[in-house]
A and B are shown apart, each in its own frame.
Chain A
Amino acid sequence: MNLLESVGAGLRDMGSNKGRSVITMIGIVLGVASVVAVLSLMQGGQAQTEAYFEELGGLREIRITNQRTNRIFMTAAERASERLTYRDAQAIRFECPSVSYVDPEISRYLTVSYKDKTFQMRVLGTTADYVFADSMPVAEGRFITDRDLDTYANVIMMGPTYRDDLFGDEDWRGKQVLVEGIPFTVVGIMEKKEFYFRGGGGERNVLEWFNRGHYIPITTMIRRFTVDDQLGGLEISAKTVELVPTLMEETRTVLSRRHGVEDFDLASKSEQVQQRAEQEAFFNIIFWVIAFISLFVGGVVIANIMLSSITERIREIGVRKAIGASSRDVFIEFLVEALVVTSVGGAVGLGVGYGLVKLMETALIMPMAFSPSILVLAFLTSVAVGIIFGMFPALRAARLDPVEALRYQ
């Protein structure tokens, strides 16, 4: 009997035992559906994490922060240190060969007014590198330039959210606003930044924060609005992802020399991505366990139903052997039958899994990805279950002694 005919016979057999086949398939359907769900959840989660970090300037970034130490416990050297300053940022820019962008930030809430409108707004003193380092695109006009920094220019770049509040329908070009009473020329508007994290039952723009800021040269900020040049944040990025560890060492050397003590922390984005991936992997284990249990239960059900169907069919096996079926023929017939059931179950499971993916995506707002490789992999698991759990019953059938089998009542 060739394979195609065995498959045909298996399908006919399924058709003639619909109740049995449905029960057999439920486990496989659920198992394969959860495999589909897990795989697309994993792919989706990973894609989302990567996209998020990409949006924030990629994996080349290192964040430098002041170490938080209670003043009481500080050593003399720590007390003497000025903490992270704009001069530190300049030193890194000129002394670290692996650095590409240096993005120091000092932010203050300042009064910004235009005509009769006055708001208390977050203003960020920064450099020309900011747009590159944080991949912040400019929507209209221009960003702060090196020349602005050198000349302590009174220029302001506005975030998109407050633009309407200040200017309404008016064109912003050529307008001046007062920052703490000092006139600043508006030179551009930032693009709206959006990233919607799915999960936890809703969607929100986690980057809206960025849309609510205004930007001025950091040198202007220091000269006009702050008492010293201590930084609120400092982010730098390496020329390539591979250079991140090198840059961390270079930075550590430069800053330790300048501060006389290591009172700062360095954290790379790739470490954060790693941590996040580990958290997600743990979350996915739950789904793997569900998938494994359903496939296992499905397999055991198949094995049992096949074993009981063998009992029903002992005489049939005896007859087949009496007219010339070898043990191998019988083995193949029963294994193919198991494979037909699991494959049909697997195919249905792919459909159910796809539905599950869509449901989780819309109802639970989970990040899901769906690709042909997921379908192939999930289908292969159903085939594997058929082989593994069909093997034992098929062997039992194959080993039956023909005379005993024919005598069986």
Chain B
Amino acid sequence: MLIAVDGLTRTYDLGEAKVHALRGVDLAVEAGEYLAIMGPSGSGKSTLMHILGCLDTPSTGRYVLGGEEVSSLTGRELAKVRNRRIGFVFQNFNLLPRIDLVANVALPLVYHGSVSKAERLGRAAKQLEELGLGHRLKHRPNELSGGERQRAAIARALINEPSILLADEPTGNLDSKTGREIMDILDGLSAAGKTVCLVTHDANVAEHAGRTVHMQDGAIAREDFS
């Protein structure tokens, strides 16, 4: 079992009101699984992804990642988990605008600490080439199309060889043709054995996954296998 979450809740305390973004989520993900999370807007998909990605911590409940109890880690240890074991892909790419693609993709290796600069740039360039961006290494993100940016973001997520790739609506900002290109890449990664977990609104996108989890009001409503 790669991921096991148990009774996960996340409550935002807004003073007068309390927002229950997650109301007790139980979920298990096997290594190598291809999982889609669907659900209406505001149902808690992103909140769950943030917790799975160690960007956020649950209010209550347990989260075990690769056999390690994550809920008890310190901020610095969580940063290390994000750096080495998780690759996160965002809807809006989130590349740094002032540095070129190689530098963007190499950034996780910078925080990894023990990789020399030459090796970092070499590995980043290779990763970009594998995703068909070999001709764009020295370009800044704003010089690229949305699809190219998302491919660069995937390259960045993969650079540290994480055990799981988390993608929150990776095709949400792309037209359908470009969206299909991105899904081809995720399919390829899954076929190569990578654990992939993605959030989507689009049933056609969810079809690519082996299992789909449907969320409703901060809880899992049902699961489909295909």
Contact = CB atoms under 8 A, between A and B. Distances in A.
B4 to A, nearest CB: 22
Interface string B75-87: 1100110111000
Interface string A316-343: 1011111111111100000000000000
Interface stretch (B33-41, B90-98, B171-179): B90-98
Interface residues of A, number: 21
A207 interface: no
A278 B160 CA distance: 66
A319 B112 contact: no
A231 B82 CA distance: 93
Interface of A: 1, 5, 13, 16, 315-316, 318-329, 402-403, 406
B contacts with A: majority SS: helix
B94 A326 contact: no
29 contacts: A1-B111, A5-B110, A5-B117, A16-B98, A315-B94, A316-B96, A320-B107, A320-B111, A321-B79, A322-B88, A322-B94, A323-B83, A323-B111, A324-B80, A324-B84, A324-B108, A324-B160, A325-B111, A326-B75, A326-B79, A327-B75, A327-B79, A328-B76, A329-B79, A329-B111, A402-B56, A403-B50, A403-B55, A403-B56
A323 B156 contact: yes
Interface of B: 50, 53, 55-56, 75-76, 79-80, 82-84, 88, 90, 94-96, 98, 107-108, 110-113, 117, 156, 160
A320 B98 CA distance: 13
Given A323-B108, A326-B75, 4 more contacts: A322-B55, A323-B88, A402-B55, A406-B90
Contacts of B96: 316, 319-320
Contact of A1 (B56, B90, B110): B110
Contacts of A319: 94-96
A329 B112 CA distance: 11
A319 B110 CA distance: 13
Contacts of A328: 76
Nearest to A4: B117
A324 B112 contact: yes
B19 to A, nearest CB: 14
B94 to A, nearest CB: 5
